[in-house]
Structure 1
Amino acid sequence: MKTALFDTWTDKYDAWFETPTGRFVRQYESALLLEFLNPLPDDSILDVGCGTGIFTQDVLSCGAKVTGIDLSVPMLERALIRAGNASYSGLCADMNALPFPDNCFDKVYSMTAIEFADDAGRVLAECNRVTRRGGWIVVTTLNSLSPLAEQRTKKAQNGHDLFQQICFRSPDDMRLLVPEKSRCKTAIHFQKNDPVSRIPELERIGRENNLETGAFLAVQWNKA
């Protein structure tokens, strides 16, 4: 089951973001999330598939009130510890059937979770349902156009348990799943084995040229 799989990746997930390259990944992914989500003080925000709360922490630091949901109890427990005394609550729940009424959050976001969903359209519909009218939804995923996706696909073919569960999507794939009036942008324009000293330059070049081949893909739309 995917739940059990995620339980075993709690420590590995956090450890990756503590590596020199992982720190840059977190920095650039968080920057794009915050650009699209624009969390404001006292915003009520839902984090769908919060994992260990690494990115939840960045949203909380803006003064927002965040509710996180995840299928994995170990990951959710780590998120609760990481949040400390911040305005955060977490519960174990399925993103295919969010346990909240319609129009109850100012904003909703999901960080690299939709690629594990069996029905991405249903998840996006649920995110849209629980967002108030006029609120923003931001969904990020792993970009099928990136060299990293090709590498992970090969690892899946060789038996990598996590990557066998992933569905990679391109910017055009995501545009077909969300409302027509949406924004789309990618980040992480460097490779895992690139020299750490070159990462800022490579990311700057990708950003300035609006490349759609970055490994991290974000879409944003407003609930009409």
Structure 2
Amino acid sequence: MTTSDYDDFAAAYAADNEVNLSNGHYERPAMLNLAGDVASRRILDAGCGSGLLSLALRERGARVTGFDSSVEMIRLARERLGEDPDLRVLDLAEEFPFEGGAFDDVVCSLALHYLEDWSAPLRELHRVLRPGGRLILSVDHPMVHKLVHPEADYFETSLWPLEHEFQGQKAVLKIWHRPLHAMVKDFTRAGFRIADIDEPPYAEDTPAELLPPEIRGRSRFIGFLFFVLVAE
């Protein structure tokens, strides 16, 4: 993911992310639920975007550090969070300027799937966690690619450009599809133990008008896949 990918539509994305179904009422509540009680925990928000998850974690008592590759996203995060948190412009694919074992948890929302090869980033995320620390992450559900493109080879790691519209502004998100077994192998090779895999419901307070007709009356839909990994 290049810096300009999100710089070009950061404000529109951030505004949409705050209230839409996929992020505001599904992904972010699920990440917070998986994180549980975070009071006094040192948490790194890797790919923090405009800081919505960081803010929610801080409100629950966490000590949050965040980074994102987008200059504009970090600017928005600083507007949201103030000058107290350590917020930096960093690329997830590069080495991190943090000491080993510096964090109790790392949260990584919908960021790793922008990388074709995430083996080195996973090792870095493992390095900055204390032993027993958690990496809580979300990625595009691998079945979505197959449902949208029935002709595609599910078992091949492949680039999947997704066109979205955020607050009327069109953008293309360059996501890498990878099958579940490949994800699991990469996690374990990086030194993680899988503590949980989740396909959660959307939030109970989701406004009815946000729900497409095909999922009304159901509590779940195939959107993202969530993992809790423990650093061993």
**Interval containing the TM-score (normalised by the shorter chain):** 0.7 to 0.9
Correspondence list, 1:66-215, <5 A: 66-84=64-82, 88-96=85-93, 97-146=95-144, 150=148, 153=160, 155=162, 162-163=172-173, 165-179=174-188, 180-187=193-200, 196=210, 201-202=217-218, 204=219, 206=220, 214-215=222-223
Cα 1:149/1:72, change in 2 over 3 Å: farther
1:201 partner SS: coil
Deviations along 1:138-195, whole A, 9 cap, x unmatched?
1211112126972794756xxx8633x2102344332222135332112477xxxx96
TM-score, structure 2 as length reference: 0.76
More strand per residue: 2
Provide the C-alpha distance between the structure 2 equivalents of 1:200 and 1:84, rounded to a whole number of angstroms: 39
Contact 1:143 1:169 (8 Å CA) reproduced: no
Provide the C-alpha distance between the structure 2 equivalents of 1:5 and 1:111, rounded to a whole number of angstroms: 16
Gaps of 5+ in 1: 207-212
TM-score, structure 1 as length reference: 0.79
CA shift at 1:38, angstroms? 2.4
Provide the C-alpha distance between the structure 2 equivalents of 1:149 and 1:168, rounded to a whole number of angstroms: 12
Cα 1:148/1:200, change in 2 over 3 Å: farther
Cα 1:117/1:188, change in 2 over 3 Å: farther
- Counterpart residue type for residue 222 of structure 1: V
Please say if 1:15 is aligned against 2:12.
Answer: no
Cα 1:36/1:155, change in 2 over 3 Å: closer
Provide the C-alpha distance between the structure 1 equivalents of 2:88 and 2:161, rounded to a whole number of angstroms: 34
- Counterpart residue type for residue 162 of structure 1: V
Sequence identity of aligned pairs in percent?
A: 24
Gaps of 5+ in 2: 150-158, 164-169, 203-207
Provide the C-alpha distance between the structure 1 equivalents of 2:70 and 2:56, rounded to a whole number of angstroms: 21
Q: How many aligned positions are there?
A: 205
Provide the C-alpha distance between the structure 1 equivalents of 2:196 and 2:128, rounded to a whole number of angstroms: 20
2:154 aligns to what?
Answer: none
CA shift at 1:220, angstroms? 1.0
Higher RCO structure, 1 or 2 (CA under 8 Å, sep 6+): 2
2:229 aligns to what?
Answer: 221
Cα 1:111/1:154, change in 2 over 3 Å: closer
Cα 1:6/1:183, change in 2 over 3 Å: same
Contact 2:113 2:139 (8 Å CA) reproduced: yes
Deviations along 1:76-129, whole A, 9 cap, x unmatched?
0101111137x5220111222111111111111111111112421111111111
1:50 aligns to what?
Answer: 48
